[in-house]
Each structure stands twice: as C-alpha cells, then as structure tokens.
C-alpha cells in the first residue's frame, strides 16, 4: 500500500505533488500501465476471505493514506487480520504478518490493495511479505499511485510467490476511491450533502432551516463529517446559519472547516471564527480580497488562502480544490450552499451525493434551491447516483452513492 503521511490533522501539507500540466495546459498524460502479472484463477474461497479483508479495511483513520485491510489464512483458518490504522503506522499487510508471526510461513495473505514496492516512511511492504514466508498473495486491486516506482505484484511473483489479482476488485477500488482521485488527479474526492423537504425546499418562507431533518439524520451527517478530511460551506450558508461544522453527535474528530468566501465576508463574531483556535478553520478567498480582513481573521486563528476568481466574480472552483488537495485534503464533504453545490455539479467535481429528504412540506414560498445551476438540457443528461442506496434514518429518507455524469 502506498500513501503519504500528515504532519497534523486538518491542516496538513501534502507530500503528494499533483500531476503537472502539459505544455499545452491540458492534464499530463497518465503513467504507462504496469507490466502484466501472471495470476492464478480466482476461487469462491478467495472472494470469501477477501470480503473479510474488506471488512477490516473499514476501520482506522488512515487519511491521507487509503483504507486497506489484510488477512493471513493458514489451512482454512484466519490466523491474523489487520487494517491500516493511521498514517505513519504499519500498513495493513505488515500489521497482519506481524500478528501472524511464524504462522505466516506457507500461508495465504489477502490484502485489499496491491502491496507497495517503494520506500516511504516504512520499507516496501513487498519485502516484509517475502521475508514472512507466505506462499500466496491475493490482491483486491492494483495500486493506482503514479508517483511510486516499482510494481508490487510483479516483485512478489518474481520472488516465487503465487499472486492472485483482482478479487472483489470493484469493492476494493470503492474503498480507495478518495485516495485514488487525490493521488492521480490532484483533487479531493468531493461528497455533496443536501437536506430538503418533500417539496424540495431547504428553509421556510422566513428563512428558518433548523431543523428541516430530524436528529437521527443530523447524527448521520456528523458521522459523515468524522470520516472526512474537510467540511466546506459557502459564505451564504455561513452568514445565514452561523454553523459550528463540528462532530458532536457521534464519536470522532472534527475535520478542517472550510468556507468559500470570495470577498472575506466571514464575521469575526461567527462561531467558526470564535472557535478557530479549537478546530482548524480555513477560508478560501479571492486574490483581491481585503488584506485587513485577512489579518483580522489570522489573529483569530483562521488561515486564508487566496485563489483565482472567475469572470462571474466567483472563486475558481478547480483552483480552490487544488489548493485543498495540496494541503492534504483527500476527502471533502460539502454541506452548502446552493451556489457552491451548483458549481461543483456544473464542473463535474462532485463525486458522491448524500441527500436527506424530510417528510414535511414547506410550501411554495419556502426557500427553494438546494442546488443553484443551469442544469441539463434533458433528464437523460442529468447527473445521477449510479447505484443508489436508500435508507430510513429516523423519519427521514436518505439516498446516497457515487455520482455519474452522462455524456
């Protein structure tokens, strides 16, 4: 498994250098595909044990590294299992092999992501695997990292180990999707969260939005926050709601709080600014924003990052997202407002959608517009959740899943 390590949660310089643009200004050409690896056939048992490894991968808070799980199997029994807990600690396969000890000799290792074959903070995982004496390695998906040298599966095969590649591949790729986007494109994986009434309103006619959804839905949102590196809103939402954007209703750390604020209008008296010394807070502003306002926010503990502005006077979303990625933000959850959500959808930057629908009616004068954008010409061209998952969270409906953008 490959990755990079943070210096401190929330605001962390990334050791990943995003792919540079080509001389023409278009994205750089993708790295050449690694050489093929001779693999054995996948068995039903392989899928069964890989499912266990995938379950292990759910654990830990490894960002900016990916979620990875591993299982050591000997004579049909699990002798060790592990996950990558946190950046800077043992990768999942190494942790599992340490736990297995001598029982790893002649055993099978199941790992959700191709083992790394390069030096980072730790030696290559391939070396530990070979030294452990395992006879067979079953891999969920390839390592997509274009910034590392070497091919883990090829190294293992060359050492005489049996290699099985691509077991539960789609599931394994889904677990590393945020990290894979960050490492290959140089942008965060963006999850867009919306909350609205049955008639599509986000607030009453007087502007009241607390609360459209119920307590269970709000707890679910806090859980989603705890799994993200950053949580972002637009300045309109900051001014209207004065949110805290912290994790309160579920265990977990509060992520970096981010405000898209072109003209630096965030009030010094806002709860975000008042608590900036307790929870890291960053404001993305335009290049011409007030120097005095930036200085005042800085005294309060808020970091300001200047970004280019579009012809319409809005922040350049691509540049803003790139700036966040360079600070180690791998997964970004965006909670509002409508203009920011619309920009993300129009630019096809949103990767995942989380929508909570409350069983209430706010009426035709209620505030509409969870998303502000021109939208598609036809329903067939509309962005959509590829394989929607529906849940009932308290009294609210919750639908979520990866977004696709029809051509």
Measured CA to CA, the distance from residue 66 to residue 47 in angstroms comes to 21
Q: What are the tokens at 403?
A: 């977004």
Sequence-distant (6+) residues with CB within 8 A of 117 are: 124, 125, 126, 148, 149, 150, 151, 152, 154, 155
Contact 97, 72 (CB under 8 A): yes
Residue in 47, 93, 296, 407 annotated catalytic: 93
124 prior amide bond cis, ω within 30: no
Contact 228, 331 (CB under 8 A): yes
3-state secondary structure of 357: strand
Measured CA to CA, the distance from residue 147 to residue 175 in angstroms comes to 20
Host H or E run for residue 81: strand 77-83
Contact 212, 202 (CB under 8 A): yes
Measured CA to CA, the distance from residue 403 to residue 385 in angstroms comes to 5
Sort strands 384-385 and 256-260 into parallel, antiparallel or unpaired. unpaired
How far, rounded to the nearest angstrom, does the alpha carbon of residue 333 sit from its chain's CA centroid?
Answer: 8
For residue 357, CA distances in Å to 19, 195, 197, 385 come to 39, 6, 6, 15
Cβ neighbour number for residue 166 with a 10 Å cutoff:
16
Cross-sheet strand order for the sheet of 69-74: 77-83, 69-74, 108-113, 136-141, 162-165
Secondary structure percentages of the chain, helix, strand, coil, to 5 = 30, 25, 50
For residue 376, CA distances in Å to 4, 348, 380, 406 come to 38, 12, 8, 10
149 in catalytic set:
no
Which positions are annotated as active-site residues?
93
């Amino acid at each position: 498994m490959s990755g990079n390590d943070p210096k401190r949660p929330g605001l962390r310089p990334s050791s990943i250098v995003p792919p540079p643009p080509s001389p023409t200004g278009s994205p750089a050409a993708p790295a050449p595909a690694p050489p093929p690896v001779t693999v054995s056939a996948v068995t039903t048992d392989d899928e069964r044990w890989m499912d266990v490894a995938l379950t292990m991968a759910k654990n830990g808070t490894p960002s900016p590294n990916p979620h990875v799980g591993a299982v050591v199997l000997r004579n049909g029994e699990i002798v060790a299992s592990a996950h990558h807990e946190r950046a800077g600690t043992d990768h999942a396969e190494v942790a599992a092999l340490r736990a297995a000890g001598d029982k790893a000799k002649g055993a099978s290792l199941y790992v959700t992501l191709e083992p790394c074959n390069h030096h980072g903070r730790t030696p290559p995982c391939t070396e530990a695997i070979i030294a452990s004496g395992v006879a067979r390695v079953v891999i969920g998906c390839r390592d997509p990292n274009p910034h590392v040298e070497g091919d883990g599966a090829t190294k293992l095969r060359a050492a005489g180990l049996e290699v099985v590649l691509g077991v539960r591949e789609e599931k394994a790729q889904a677990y590393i999707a945020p990290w894979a986007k960050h490492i290959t494109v140089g942008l965060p994986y963006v999850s867009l969260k919306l909350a609205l009434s049955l008639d599509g309103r986000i607030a009453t006619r007087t502007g009241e939005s607390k609360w459209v959804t119920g307590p269970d839905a709000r707890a679910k949102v806090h859980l989603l926050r705890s799994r993200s590196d950053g949580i972002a809103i637009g300045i309109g939402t900051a001014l209207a709601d004065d949110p805290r954007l912290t994790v309160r209703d579920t265990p977990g750390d509060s992520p970096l709080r981010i405000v898209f604020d072109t003209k630096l209008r965030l009030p010094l008296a806002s709860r975000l600014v008042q608590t900036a010394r307790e929870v890291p807070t960053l404001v993305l502003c335009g290049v011409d924003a007030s120097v005095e306002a930036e200085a005042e926010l800085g005294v309060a503990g808020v970091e300001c990052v200047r970004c280019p502005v579009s012809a319409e006077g809005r922040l350049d979303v691509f540049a803003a997202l790139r700036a966040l990625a360079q600070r180690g933000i791998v997964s970004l959850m965006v909670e509002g407002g409508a203009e920011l959500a619309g920009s993300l959808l129009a630019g096809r930057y949103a990767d995942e959608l989380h929508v909570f629908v409350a069983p209430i009616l706010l009426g035709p004068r209620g505030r509409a517009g969870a998303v502000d954008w021109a939208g598609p010409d036809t329903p067939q061209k509309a962005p959509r959740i590829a394989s929607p998952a529906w849940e009932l969270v308290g009294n609210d409906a919750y639908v979520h899943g990866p977004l696709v953008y029809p051509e």
